[in-house]
Each structure stands twice: as C-alpha cells, then as structure tokens.
Amino acid sequence: MNGAAVEVDARGIRDVLERYQENGWTDGLPVVPVSESIVEEFLAATPLDPEEVLFAIPHLNRELTVRYAAINAALAGCRPEYLPVVLAAWKGIAQEPNPRKGIWQSTTGTAPFTVVNGPVRERLDLNSRGNVFGSGHRANATIGRALRLALINVFGLRPHQLDQATQATPAKYTAVIGENQEQSPWPSLHTEYGFAEDDDVVTSFVIRSVMHIEARHTQEAEQLALDFTDSITRTGAFIHEYTNALLVLSPEHAHVFAGAGWDKDRLRRFIFEHAVRTREELARVGKDAISHHARWRLSSAHPDAIADTARGSGTPDRVPALSAPESVQVVVAGANNAGVSAVVEVFGLNPRLRPSSYSPVEYPAG
C-alpha cells in the first residue's frame, strides 16, 4: 500500500467493532463506527425530515425513520451522498405491492434487490457493467448493506430469532445493480413507468434468488428466449400458482433480440406464451394443484388442494407459469463481453398493480 501514513488508534477501533458485534448491530461483517456528527452529515444529504417514517412492519410494531436509515447507512460504510439512493430504495420497498409484511421473516429467505437508473450511477460510481452482481464497487456494496442492517437493527430480523429463513440467499448481504443504459438497445426500465431516461430513479424488488444463465451457444432470438423460458418455468420456481421474474440481460443477449427486431414487449409476450408445464410434469414433483389457503403449489392428493386456473382454460393439460406478460420485467446490466445473463426470482409482480416500485432520488435543492 502506498500513500501517506495516517495515525489512528487501531486498538480502539477494534474495541468499538467488537462492542458493536456484541450488541448484534452487524450483519456478521465489521461495520463503520458512527457518531452523532457523522449522522448529521448524512441527514444533510437529504431534504427529508429525519423523523419521517419510510417503512413499517405493523405486526412487529416497528418503524424505520429517515434518521434510522441514515444511521444504518453510516454503519454500512456508505458515503453521505449515497443516502438519497438508500432512502429511495426504502420508499420503493414500502410501495412494493405484496401486502404481506411477514414476507421479511419468510422461511424462503427474502432479500431486497435494487436497480438504479439515471446519471446518479456515474456520480456515485455505481456499477452497471462488469461483475455487476459481484464485489468491487463501494456504492453497490454499501447501499444494499444499509438496507439489510436496518432490517436487522430496526426490525430485529436476526437469524435464529425473527428472521426465519431456512437457507436464505447471499443477496441478503447486499443486492444493488445499475442498469447499463448506455449499452442497452432498448429504453431503460424506469422509462416504462413515466420517467425520463436521464431521471435518477430507484426500482425496488423483493427477491428469492438470482439464477445464473450461461447461454453462449446461439445467436437466434427464439432459441435464446426459450432458454430463458425454461429457466423461469423450472418446477422449483412453481412455489405459488404463478411465478414472476426479473430478467437481467447482458448487453450481448439484449442485442441478439434487438437485432432480430424484438423489443421488450415482444420478448415478454414470447416468454409468457411459452412458459408452460404439462400437468403430468407437475404431478411428477407433487405440484399439480394449489393450496386453497395459501395458493402454494402442492399435490392434487393433498386435503387442502384445489384446482388451479389452468383447469378452466381450453388446455387443461398445459399449466401456465406466468399470469401475464407483465409478470416478467427486463433490465440490461453487466459487461458486453459474453452471453451471460440472470433470472431474478421476485415476489409481488401483480399485473393488476404496478409491477414494481419506483422512487425518484431526492437531493437537497442547490
């Protein structure tokens, strides 16, 4: 390491970190010590009232305020200028259409997943290209971590306590990406919901997992779309009557579709039309019916089983995985260097509601 030496009380810092760990204020990794003056620096980066409530979980009787979000952003290692993105993500989470707040304690192991659009990506050096799901960029890492730390410290969602995840997902540490607008052949995600291409906007999802798709074998749009469809319709994804997905395309894959004259809507419609499984395939894994109570997929032999909506269609032996084309959202992210994309399994894409939550990023005037 090069550069001027800085004298610090390393032993004192380690003692503080151990104290934070003993109090359960971390996600398992060391956090950044925080003082009141540091919190004030963060609050100066937003026009919002420090006592404004951003998100609440009523059955836990706990609320997240702007001040608490700022404290956890500082703990996470954010810079103060990251705070408006953190707050926008929380506002998006609060709008997410799935009404079951208990989802945050789910045995599935849910995680917040954030997509950032607009010039703010460049201002904060937020990664939207190579290694987009990986390490190396402070903004991506710490903005997502700020959300998790607040879930731990404000809502008490700690493993083996209120967090009931059976195995969970690494995305519970952090999951923030920028959309690669510059290398996308299509309008960006946020423009589909009324924002301008150069608006700073955060999109919030609640997810189960991120599934890697290796598809370097074809330059045919239909073949590529069927490959993604097969991943979306895997039987392990048939948790409820329908499934939902955020398709994160590499620029290379996006340009395969665009080069064939496909826009996002055509891709969504194609996936919707082909995202089916036969009743026999579902019966083989015990998922040919749904629960009357929870709408989870289960065997038709189960006492709580009822027929799914496919039985009322003209093709009762072909069961749709998606309820509408809008059940698939499309984002372009990652480097333009290989045919590698991802399917993010998400909760709450209800076509009758806004399929996701969009929040503008607010900075103080001037």
Tokens of residue 201, six digits: 């906007």
The pLDDT of residue 254 is above 50: yes
The CA-atom distances, in angstroms, between 34 and each of 51, 149, 151, 353 are 19, 13, 18, 39
pLDDT band (50, 70, 90) for residue 349:
low
- Could you read off the pLDDT of 134-173 as tens digits, one per residue? 999 999 999 999 999 999 999 999 999 999 999 999 999 9
SS3 113: strand
- The full 3-state SS of 188-232, as one line of letters, equals CHHHHHCCCCCCCEEEEEEEEEEEEEECCCCCCHHHHHHHHHHHH
pLDDT digit string (tens) for 82-119? 999 999 999 999 986 654 567 888 888 899 999 999 99
Mean pLDDT score of the chain, rounded to an integer? 91
| pLDDT for residue 284 is more than 80 | yes
| pLDDT over threshold 50, residue 351 | no
3-class DSSP state of 346: strand
Q: How far apart are CA 179 and CA 187, in angstroms?
A: 11
Both structure tokens of 244 = 């939902």
For residue range 41-54, what is the model confidence (pLDDT) as tens digits?
999 999 999 999 99
CA distances from 243 to 276, 304, 317, 328 (A): 11, 20, 18, 9
Mean pLDDT of all residues in 335-347: 94
Q: Say if residues 205 and 344 touch (Cβ distance below 8 Å).
A: yes
pLDDT-above-90 percentage for the chain: 81
283 touches 235 (CB < 8 A): no
Would you state the pLDDT for residue 354? Answer: 45
Alpha-carbon separation of residue 127 from 45, 75, 115, 306 (angstroms): 21, 21, 11, 46
Please compute the mean of the pLDDT values over residues 293-301 and round it to a whole number: 90
d(CA 13, CA 349): 44
Count CB-CB contacts under 10 A for residue 134: 10
Gap between the Cα atoms of 198 and 217, Å rounded: 35
DSSP letter string, 11-70 = HHHHHHHHHHHHTT-SSSS------HHHHHHHHTT--S-TT-EEEEEGGGTEEEEHHHHH
In this structure, what token pair is assigned to residue 127? 């990664």
CB atoms within 10 A of CB 232: 23
Residue type, 122: E
- d(Cα 325, Cα 28) in Å, to the nearest integer? 39
Name the nearest CA neighbour of 245 among 172, 184, 322: 322
For residue range 199-231, list pLDDT tens digits in order. 999 999 999 999 999 999 999 999 999 999 999
Surface-to-core class of residue 47, CB atoms within 10 Å of its CB (0-12 exposed, 13-18 middle, 19+ buried): exposed
> Residue 185 burial (CB < 10 Å; 0-12/13-18/19+)?
middle
What is the structure's pLDDT at 241?
87
